[in-house]
Structure 1
Amino acid sequence: MTDEIQPIASQNFGFNSIGNSVANADKLESIGSSYALSSILLSAVELNVFDCLVDGAKTCDRIAAEIQVAPDALKRLTIALTAMGLLQCDSEGKYQNTSVATTFLTEKSPQSMTSSLLFHKRCYDLFGNLTAVIKSGKQQFAKSAPVDNYYSELAKQPEEYFIFLEAMNRSSVGIGTALATSVDFSKIDRVIDLGAGGGQISIELAQAVPHLTLTMVDLPIACDFLQRRIDDLSLEHQLECIQGSILNDLSQQLELADAVILSGILADWGATEGVQILHHARNLLKPGGLLLVSETLFDETKTGLMQPAILSLCMLLAMQGDNFTPSEIASILDRSGFVDVRFCFKQETGVRDLIIAQKPL
């Protein structure tokens, strides 16, 4: 995967592109049959079809040999990809990537979407369990039995975890930059990013506010990924990663900070764990320190926005939590001892909703 992630239109896993109304027959038909196009695209990415063609046009038989698939079956896939405008076929029967495929569907392109699409493939499989989960109310990870913790289950599969981290980075592009413009960091020197994931937010913040030092906290497998990114970007003077769990009190392990980041964290967990995470975050802050939360919020009526509605179902399928309305998250922060809660909504930031609160002096 590339180190520099370029912003693209399909942030938040493409859910931004989904309209808020499907109330006509044409849209319903399109949505109902879209599984076919999704399957074609996601399978081609998973099979490395587009990466195979980076070095030039090839026959279907040669592609099949290189990616180790059945030639006759691959031929049908390449025909479909050509019809979709992702491949071109010449008079000799050789296939090559179109410019769109080269730009967005090859791993080493600066604008590669492969990590997000591979994660979509996992979510696609997960959503196949939606009917069963609605009936049982129990979360599931892929096709396994229900599990207590999506992250601990995922950590058992390093390759899958790294796909997840790359996808989280792409969905987080712009959030660190938005924080830098939404918050006055002139009197903030030390920041802790709890559950830092792939590190995109802390990296952007470090680049935007050079005087900051940031400590990223996550599971050991994530720290391996994070350290590589720190080294690749030569940010050792600003960034460090510490192994730890957001469910544990780290106040004896870490120096208190002027600000703590929780990005895409609270909605993943149930009410008990959410309060626990906020308690630990509060313990890591100096008096008067800021809590910086990034989430995708519902509107107050939970009737107007498709993106948090889809993410809410993702939470049902794999996590323990749910997306919040502004008043719900404000109430949780208040009960957890934070004051002066304010919002910078997505319309202002261009990315996720930001919630800023303070630990009392």
Structure 2
Amino acid sequence: MDVRTPPAPAALMELTTGLWASQTLAAAEHLGLFTVLSRSGGASVAETAHRLGIEERPAEILLTACAALDLLSRDGGRYVNTPLAETYLVRGGQYYFGDYVRMLTEYVYPGWTRLADAIHANAPARVTTREQQEIFEATTRPKIFWDGLYPLSALTARALAEAVDLEDVTSVLDVGGGNAAFAIELCRFYPELRATVFDLPFVCRHTADRVADAGLSERVALHPGDFFADADLPGGHDAILLSMILHDWDEPRNAELLAKCHRALPSGGLLMISELLVDDDKTGPRDAALMSMNMLVGTWGRNYTVAEYRDWLAAAGFTGIRTVRFSAPGANGAVLARKP
């Protein structure tokens, strides 16, 4: 009989109950808990129940759980937001994550409940009979998808701007630039920079107001198009950005897109690929590996290694390939390359 002490199951329990934590956050956001506490300067259990229109029992349970998750702290008999919740979970904040939480709950999580189906079928679980391209149509990726990704993209853009020197870049083409978070943040960081968001027409319609609200309509242009259906990408830019784009697609489609980037850039032009990069030995890191699982659920792509990007970039004709590492919600680094 084996009498050795078994390993502690704490890590396994954390994995198996991960849904509990995410859905506690989703429920609190749905109720507007963090916004209510911010505006009132904190509240007791009874006050919270009254303001949220719920009974005291669920209010107490929810407040306790959010405190255990370090989203709230208790000051005497009143619960208040922690700095994390105050910064990211109060509606109207610059980097409000509530839309992202709702996007995951409404759009992403249903597919995750069918993850085993995606593994067996080697096909997305969120769509079954549509062609690959249709996952990017307005009817299948609603406005909440683009709004939800904004804070994640904006914070990632800030990290990219700090890690990659773009002082010599005058104009960047953000291919698949979606909600313009990267274009906006890069232009804020580099006052002389201009940017063009190239994305599907319905996405550009969603994005126009975002650019206007940022006061950057004169520096951030919107160019409707389809980076696969169109023969070429818009020219006239000395840098091209692919942020969280290539993980949506398989290797042949990525090779096709990289070839178009090469044609669109001038000699000496810079290509930036910002992604959660998988380790070359394919043992992690955790965020990149789990994002790859998310791609399995919803797309025909996955997250790729630096070695894979190097091979594809070299095949497309790029040189000077290097990797810059940073830490951000949507990327852990950027692969950079030049057109000779």
TM-score scaled by length of structure 1: 0.77
Letter in 1 for 2:13: E
Aligned 8 A contact 1:262 1:294 in 2: yes
**Is 1:298–2:282 an aligned residue pair?**
no
Give the Cα–Cα distance (whole angstroms) in 1 for the partners of residues 58 and 88 of structure 2: 19
Partner of 2:165 in structure 1? 183
Letter in 2 for 1:124: Y
Q: CA deviation at 1:303?
A: 1.3
2:26 pairs, out of 32, 42, 45, with 42
For 1:77-156, list aligned pairs within 5 A: 77-84=58-65, 85=67, 86=72, 98-99=81-82, 101-121=85-105, 122-141=107-126, 145=128, 147=130, 148-149=132-133, 151-153=135-137, 155-156=139-140
Cα deviation code 1:72-116 (max 9, x no counterpart)? 5xx55322222122487998xxx8654554443221234533133
Partner of 2:324 in structure 1? 344
Partner of 1:192, secondary structure, is: strand
**Is 1:258–2:238 an aligned residue pair?**
yes
Letter in 2 for 1:35: L
Give the Cα–Cα distance (whole angstroms) in 2 for the partners of residues 306 and 39 of structure 1: 21
Aligned 8 A contact 2:154 2:185 in 1: no
Cα deviation code 1:137-194 (max 9, x no counterpart)? 21022xx53542474256545343333342542452424413xx523542x3222111
Give the Cα–Cα distance (whole angstroms) in 1 for the partners of residues 35 and 202 of structure 2: 26
**Greater displacement, 311-320 / 96-105:** 96-105
Q: CA deviation at 1:240?
A: 0.8
Structure 1 segments unaligned to the other structure (5+ residues): 1-22, 65-70
**Greater displacement, 125-134 / 105-114:** 105-114
TM-score scaled by length of structure 2: 0.82
Q: 1:155 to 1:47 in 2, by over 3 A?
A: farther
Letter in 1 for 2:200: L
* % same residue: 24
Partner of 2:307, secondary structure, is: helix
Give the Cα–Cα distance (whole angstroms) in 2 for the partners of residues 218 and 359 of structure 1: 23
Structure 2 segments unaligned to the other structure (5+ residues): 1-6
Give the Cα–Cα distance (whole angstroms) in 2 for the partners of residues 31 and 191 of structure 1: 40
Give the Cα–Cα distance (whole angstroms) in 2 for the partners of residues 111 and 184 of structure 1: 23
Give the Cα–Cα distance (whole angstroms) in 2 for the partners of residues 229 and 163 of structure 1: 10
**Greater displacement, 206-215 / 321-330:** 206-215
Partner of 1:206 in structure 2? 187
Partner of 1:16 in structure 2? none
**Is 1:328–2:308 an aligned residue pair?**
yes
Letter in 2 for 1:125: P
Number of aligned pairs? Answer: 320
Please tell me the root mean square deviation across aligned C-alpha atoms, in Å.
3.0
**Is 1:238–2:227 an aligned residue pair?**
no
Partner of 2:335 in structure 1? 355
